[in-house]
Every structure is written in structure tokens, then in C-alpha cells.
Amino acid sequence: MRPFLPLAIIPAMVCLAQAPAPYSPEDRALLWKEAMITHDGMAYKYIVHTFPTRAEAEAFAAKPYLTRKNTRGQVFDLRYVEIPMALRSRIASLGKGILSEPLAYGGSWLMVELQDRNQRMLDRSTDVDKWLATYAATCLPTAQALRTDPELVARGVLNWLRTPADLNKALDSGAIKPAQLDMPTSSGAPLVYLAVIRKDPEFLEALLSHGASTEAPGDRGPLSVAVALQNTELIRILLAHKANPNGLPDNPAPILVAAANGDGAMMRTLLAAGADILATRRERDVFPIQNCLLYYLPDHDDALYGWARQEMEAALEKTRTVAWSAWIEQGGRRQPIQDGAVVTLKKAPFRIVMRKGPRHGFRIFTTEDTALAARMKEVPFRRTLLDFARIGAAGPDSTWLGVSDLTMKEGVLNYSATTQELAYSSDPERNRGVKRSVVKGKEEFTYEVTEFLFDDRDPKEVPIKAYAGPGLVMAAGLLPDLGRGADLYKPAVFRITFKP
């Protein structure tokens, strides 16, 4: 089998080959049949960048997206089957604006960036001779290889299997061996994946019974695809044949797909099969962002959200990394931050002291509105509050605490936080903001507060000693390192009052 081009001819990828010699009728028919079965029905617009060294390629990849966007490269807009074999699978798996890993050839390096994809078929209007002359040399195996290479011959048999009877006939005749059932077909997908896409439980059962893997590599894992299709029969068959309930690496976990469908029953089925409810997905977008299960749940189903949150909290507890404690400290006296607590302070600077596990974040939300305690129990509000763009604390070089309003905008309650998440700097040169220290053998993070910052008032900055408001309502808690959508772990809502 020849899945990739030899390095010596990879430079041909940046200029479409032209093969002037006509093909014999037999070769023409064989190559066109291979092209038709290879094509996935999509066209891809992409840019090819070339660099003399790997270091330059990696430096280019590290540049901001908008900078890269203005960098010239060779642009191609080709059907899947028209993409050279050395690039095809790489391009098909890319997200928009995402660069491939560097590809070495000769003394140079090549990178590919996807711009767009859309449906575009090969059809009867295509000039076959012109198409073969343009693309066959770099996009298809040779006709001789298709006839004589044992793996390509077997792949040619796999391409046309559709039913259990077809499969049995091919195996009984020796045209293919059971060990070859996981080979990619010409389209790049293995038969198990295609059986799932075609929603064919009988063919899927036959393949698995003959030894095909539930985890044969493809663009997406078969179980994730079956969950996306919400096909319970396919899912039952895959799990019965020991499919990994967490899916394949670099693919969306099945339980995240079920969450996106709002399918609580399927989420429970996958959990019973051993799925990890703490699974995350790193979305490949302009800026890669990690998302957790709660992010994918529909906005309207509070009951499902509440159940999933409880399951995630129970799973987090088992990791033994999420325990936290916090205090408000003033004048050497510490008062614990606990749900429902009332902390009384003098009108003087104070500290927020935290103990937490590594990796996880810690958030403080502050307002004068006593409605925060009730609102914190509402899923829509908590989702808004915990959006990564709305964070109600301060950075490591600050000594202020943001105090934001709870306001109704177009019927939606909004927390207008404009500050940053509490950051945990280990830089000894920073003498303000969050500090690390070790107290009685335990690492603590201390944040010094000397003034309040109001979003919609004048003046915005109010020293604590000049504060004349009714007191503060605060919500605090550990934010697990699960990415976008994560909810506070055992949050505490409490009040701070000030002595006259």
C-alpha cells in the first residue's frame, strides 16, 4: 500500500501535476473508479506555507492568528480526492484557521492551514480524461499498484462491502483476511466507521463478530458517531463488543456528544459503561479552548444540568484534589468563608486567604445586592457568572476588589464583572496582589484588599476606609481545571459587614 508520497516528489504538492500521456481504457476505468470511491463529497480551501527550517515553521505557528492571516501562502480549493495523498487526511481533520504540524521534505518544511470546507461532488459532468491528467499522479495510486499491491487489492475489496453476505463471501474466498478488516478504505475510513455512518447494525455486528475493532482509526470514533446519531442499537452493539466508553484519543468523548444532544438517558448509559464524566474537549478553533461536559448541555434543561453537576462533583471528590478552605483575615484574626456566614470587619484593608490544590482556580464574586445568594442557585445565572470573560476578582499586581451590580438587561440577569480571575504568581518580585506562602506545611494564597472598584459609579475606586455602602455579598469557590463551562466546586455565599 502507498498511503503517502515519497519525500522526493512531495514538492509536487504545491503545483498540480499535469500528466500528458493518455491512460488505456482499462487503466482509465480503474483509476476513475478509485477516485469515485475515495471522494468524501467535500471540498477544502487551504493554504500551503513552506519554510526552510522547522524552527521557522514553528515560529510562524506561534504567531497570533491575525498576523498569520496576512501572511502569503499558496491557496488551493480542491475536492477531497484532489488533495495529494500526503496531505489529504491532515487537511480533512483540521479546524478552520488551524495549522497542521510541520511536514518535513528534503531540506524544507511544509505547513497547511484550512480556510473553509463545503460540499462538492464528482459527477457525470466531470471531464474524466482531464481530471486524471491533472490529479491522478499525486492523488491516486497507480493503476499497476491497484492491480498488484496486496494491500491495495484488499482495500479494493473492502471498498465495496455493504452487507454481511458480502463480508462472508470475501472472507470465505480469501479475498480479504480478518486482520485486514480494520484497514482504511480508499476514503480513509474503516468499515466499522462506515457501518455506523450508514446506520447499519447488521453489518456492524457482522464486522465486529469477525474481529474488526471498535476503535479502528478514523476521523471520528465509531461510538462518538453512534451517540451523535442517537442510535441506541448501534451503541448497544459497540458497547457489547467492548468499545471504549470514553471514545478515541483526539476525538470528542461520547459523553460530551450525548451532553450536546441533551440526552440524559445516553449519558447515564455511558456512565454505567465506565465513561468519565470529567472528560474535556479541546476545541480546535482560531484559539484552542478546552470545554467540559457542562458547557455542552442545553441552556434550557436545568434538571439535567443539576444532575450532571452532582455527578461531576462526586467524581471530583474522588480525585482528592479539590478540597479548599478560605478565610477573611484582618488584624491577625481569620474568619472562615462558609456558606451563609456573616463576616464583620473594620473599615480597613483585609486579606482573602485561600488553600487549594494545584492547577485549580479560585474565584470571588462581589456585589452589594443581597439577591446574589438566591441567584447563585440558578443555573442560567451561574453559567453567565462563570463565563471565562466575566470574572470577579483581581490580578496579581492589584490590591482592589471588583464590586459589580446585578442588573436586568433585556429580561436577562447580568453580572457586569470586568475584573480578572485571581492569579497565583510565584514571582518574588511582586509585592502586591496574590502571594504564595507556606503556613504550617501547607501552601496558602493571600490576596490583599485595600480598595473597592465599582463598575458603574463615580468615583470607581473607593478606599475601604471611605466605603459607606450597606456591606457586601460575596460568592467564593474553587473552579476545577476542566475548562469552559466548569462550575464552582462547593461554593460559599456569605456577607461582609463593616463596623461603623
Q: How many percent of the chain have pLDDT more than 90?
A: 52
Residues 331, 448 within the same domain: yes
Choose one of 144, 178, 213: the last residue of a domain: 144
Residue 304 — pLDDT band, cuts 50, 70, 90?
very high
Average pLDDT, the chain: 84
Number of domains in the chain: 3
Establish if 150 belongs to a structural domain.
no
Establish if 66 belongs to a structural domain.
yes
Residues 165, 87 within the same domain: no
Residues 314, 332 within the same domain: no
Residues 164, 221 within the same domain: yes
- Top-confidence residue, 359 or 499: 499
Residues 271, 224 within the same domain: yes
pLDDT digits (tens, 9 = 90+) for 161-188: 999 999 999 999 999 999 999 999 999 8
Residues 280, 234 within the same domain: yes
Residues 424, 464 within the same domain: yes
Q: pLDDT value at position 389?
A: 52
Choose one of 81, 112, 144: the last residue of a domain: 144
HSE of 43, CA atoms in CB hemisphere, 13 A: 10
Residues 75, 113 within the same domain: yes
Choose one of 122, 144, 166: the last residue of a domain: 144
What CATH number corresponds to the domain at position 30? 3.10.50.40
Of 62, 48, 46, 54, which Cα lies nearest the Cα of 109? Answer: 54
Query: In which domain, by residue range, is 232 found?
Result: 158-318
Torsion of CA 402, 408, 410, 412, to 10 degrees: 80
Q: pLDDT value at position 152?
A: 97
Residues 353, 412 within the same domain: yes
* Residue 11: pLDDT over 60: no
Q: pLDDT value at position 14?
A: 40
Residues 132, 108 within the same domain: yes
pLDDT, mean of residues 144-170: 97
Establish if 435 belongs to a structural domain.
yes
Q: pLDDT value at position 8?
A: 31
- What amino acid occupies position 243? A
How far apart CA 156 and CA 413 sit, in angstroms, is: 60
What CATH number corresponds to the domain at position 247? 1.25.40.20
Establish if 151 belongs to a structural domain.
no
How far apart CA 168 and CA 328 sit, in angstroms, is: 72
- Among 176-185, 209-218, 263-272, name the one with the lowest average pLDDT: 209-218
Q: pLDDT value at position 15?
A: 42
Establish if 34 belongs to a structural domain.
yes
Residues 218, 238 within the same domain: yes
Q: pLDDT value at position 2?
A: 29
Establish if 45 belongs to a structural domain.
yes
Establish if 152 belongs to a structural domain.
no
Q: pLDDT value at position 125?
A: 87
Establish if 222 belongs to a structural domain.
yes
Residues 332, 430 within the same domain: yes
Q: pLDDT value at position 106?
A: 65
